[in-house]
Amino acid sequence: MRHLAVLAGLALSACSGSNAPEAPAPGAAATQPVAAAEKYAKLKTNFGEIVIEFRPDLAPKTVENFIALAKKGFYDGLTFHRVVQGFMMQGGCPKGDGSGGPGHTVKAEFSAEKHVAGTVAMARTSDPNSAGSQFYICFAPAEFLDGQYTIFARVAKGMEVVRAVEKVGAPRDPGRPRMKVVMEKVTVHTEMP
């Protein structure tokens, strides 16, 4: 029962605007294709650095979306607004409360990949195709999320930083951290930074 409540909380808190368009309007500039060489992102936080390794083999459009947002500076200064000990840390909301997004959504790219410690996946509403900018990093296995959320990366370096963030989290939802956790700068890289 606890897992269902947590799942419902994850879905509801990841609102990215259910009426947001999936693709640019006709005549609007399309997102530039992401170079295959961009394999990593470095999340410089006020707790330290976390490096994630992208999984375009699992979720190519989601990886492309994350990289495009990072290159525009979208994530810079945003917080991990939701940190639940033993579960995950969620960030990427421009409103800082789980209700915002980038103004567009990305179609779900579900896979058979398992949620384990260090998994990076997209948060969303109850609509599977509502992910936009919010993502989460798992502190522990979360089998009840498998096959229902788009996994697009894994923590390649900085799991000790992830663990430090977990310590300032709440024991249960809504998961408001006791200290502000800020993504000061998010950059993309072709090699492990």
Boundaries of every domain in the chain:
2-17+47-189
One-letter amino acid for residue 29 of the chain: A
Q: How far apart are CA 63 and CA 38, in angstroms?
A: 10
Give CA separation, 124 vs 10, 90, 106, 148, 156, in Å: 7, 11, 10, 10, 23
pLDDT digits (tens, 9 = 90+) for 55-111: 999 999 999 999 999 999 999 999 999 999 999 999 999 999 999 999 999 999 999
Q: Fill in the DSSP letter of residue 59.
A: -
In this predicted structure, the answer to whether residue 6 has a pLDDT above a threshold of 80 is no
Q: If you search the block for the tokens 């915002």, which residue do you land on?
A: 100
Class of domain 2-17+47-189: mainly beta
pTM: 0.85
